[in-house]
Amino acid sequence: MGPFDSVEDTFEALARRLNEMGIAYIHTVDHSSMGAPVVPDSMKSKIRTAFTGAIVLSGGYDQVRAEADIDAGKGDLVAFARAFLANPDLVLRMRQKATVNMPASMDLFYTPGPEGYTDYPTLNAAG
């Protein structure tokens, strides 16, 4: 669905209604890192204000951005998808502030065989 004039007000109203219903969390996705239109900070802020439950952020996050957005109160958790596919030891890498593997071609995600899915080196194996 493309943008429309009242898109921010619509998502704010939806977040408020979900809050009233007692929904435990909202998982927001910003795929601008993959070429989709940017989700404006003003919309994210309206959702955060309208919804008092947990907000899970996702979309192109690295450790630095994740920590900054959590510290700024933009969300409560950050989901990492592609980063986990390329780094089965992502938590260890983050704890050690180590370099992370870059995901292989997305054409290989969730396909049969190890290439692009289970063939990434772990931190210990990388030396």
- What are the sequence ranges of the domains in the chain? 1-78, 80-127
pTM: predicted TM-score of the whole model, two decimal places? 0.82
Q: What is the rounded CA–CA span in Å between residue 8 and residue 17?
A: 14
Q: pLDDT at residue 33 above 80?
A: yes
Q: What pLDDT sits at residue 92?
A: 94
Per-residue burial over 23-38, b if 16 or more Cβ lie within 10 Å, else e, is eeebebebeeeeeeee
Mean pLDDT of the 94-119 span:
80
